[in-house]
Amino acid sequence: MSQAPGLRTRWRRFRREHLPDPMVRLLRRELDGMGSVLDVGCGSDSPLQFVHQAGRKVGVDAFAPSIEASRARGLHDEYLQMELQGLDLPPKSYDAVVLLDLIEHFEKAEGIEFLARLEGIARRKVLLFTPNGFLPQPPYEDNPWQLHRSGWTAPELRGLGYRVEGALGWKALRGELHRPRFHPWPLWERVANASRLVTGSRPELDAGLLAVKDLA
Secondary structure of residue 208 in the 3-state scheme: strand
Q: What is the SS3 string spanning 87-106?
A: CCCCCCCEEEEEEECCHHHC
Q: Which residues, including other chains, have CB under 8 Å from residue 32's CB and lie 6 or more apart?
A: 53, 54
**Reported confidence tier of residue 1, pLDDT bands at 50, 70, 90:** very low
Whether CATH 3.40.50.150 fits 7-166+205-214: yes
Q: Which residues, including other chains, have CB under 8 Å from residue 14's CB and lie 6 or more apart?
A: none
Q: Inform me whether the pLDDT recorded for 70 exceeds 90.
A: yes
Question: Among candidates 82, 69, 24, which has minimal Cα distance to 49?
Answer: 24
**Per-residue pLDDT tens digits for 6-65:** 776 666 666 666 657 899 999 999 999 999 999 999 999 999 999 999 999 999 999 999
Residue 114 CB-half CA count within 13 A: 22
- Greater model confidence, 9 or 152: 152
Rounded CA-CA distance 94/115 in Å is 15
- Greater model confidence, 135 or 112: 112
- Greater model confidence, 144 or 44: 44
- For the chain, the domains span 7-166+205-214
In percent, the amount of the chain with pLDDT more than 90 equals 79
**Reported confidence tier of residue 199, pLDDT bands at 50, 70, 90:** very high
pLDDT of residue 145: 66
Q: Which residues, including other chains, have CB under 8 Å from residue 40's CB and lie 6 or more apart?
A: 60, 84, 87, 97, 98, 99, 102, 118
Q: Which residues, including other chains, have CB under 8 Å from residue 185's CB and lie 6 or more apart?
A: 179
Q: Inform me whether the pLDDT recorded for 144 exceeds 70.
A: no
Rounded CA-CA distance 104/149 in Å is 6
- Greater model confidence, 41 or 4: 41
Cα–Cα distances (Å) from 132 to 11, 99, 121, in that order, read 29, 15, 25
The amino acid that residue 212 corresponds to is: V
Q: Inform me whether the pLDDT recorded for 2 exceeds 80.
A: no
**Per-residue pLDDT tens digits for 85-95:** 889 999 999 99
As to burial, measured by CB atoms within 10 angstroms (0-12 exposed, 13-18 middle, 19+ buried), residue 130 is: buried
**Per-residue pLDDT tens digits for 153-195:** 999 999 999 999 999 999 999 998 889 999 999 999 999 999 9
Q: Inform me whether the pLDDT recorded for 69 exceeds 50.
A: yes
Averaged pLDDT, 116-137: 95
